[in-house]
A and B are shown apart, each in its own frame.
Chain A
Amino acid sequence: MVRFIVVICIAIFTQNSIAQTRSAASLQFALDHIEVGLEHNLVGERVVGHLFAGIANQNLPGVFRNYTFRIGAAYTAYGDSQNQICVNGGLGVYFFKHEQEVNAVPMSDIGVRYSHTLKRLPKHGGLVQISYRCGRARYKQQFSSDVLDIFTMSDFRVTPLHIAIGYLFKF
């Protein structure tokens, strides 16, 4: 199995298809995260820089009250006129909000993105992103009532496995 994965990776990373030069905007949806992004070629045809901002709902499903910002880069491992596979990674901050304050949680991510542009509408496309994200914080919570005060330390961890689908607009 490991050999098979290594062979596939070598095949992808050494193929000679030319990646597309591009600037693009994206809109990604995950269960607990909605993100808009901008990307632009940084170095040559294969390395792309990206900037993302989003809203998230991790601590209260359905209520998007957290904010995220990420910067990073992607390497286009495979690309033809319609399809691209990028390996990407970045750093960012997850602003985790609860009643008393907002905690800034540093996070990093590494992932793979497949994007496909439409033949008839080459500026428009779809994408699937799978990432592994790291980010955790320990924070203090306080509750006061007439009868007692409660203090507790809680842990927040950014959901590690992130799967998103989205829309891509090239310009």
Chain B
Amino acid sequence: MKNQVRTLRTQRSLAQGQLADAMGVSRQTINSIENERYTPSLPLAMALARYFGVTVEEMFDDQGP
């Protein structure tokens, strides 16, 4: 699923590992989300959105091509 995780993370100069630690997941999971290979669970999607101060809809796009 298309998402803004990489954009928001790099805007804050965060490494994937730092975001992973904050979310309690592995760095590979953050990498997979950013590369649209893995769609996070609703709790993780909400935690990510809360962490970056955006809504889930702003962070994830399920209407994309």
| A and B interact | no
Query: CB within 8 Å of B: which residues of A?
Result: none
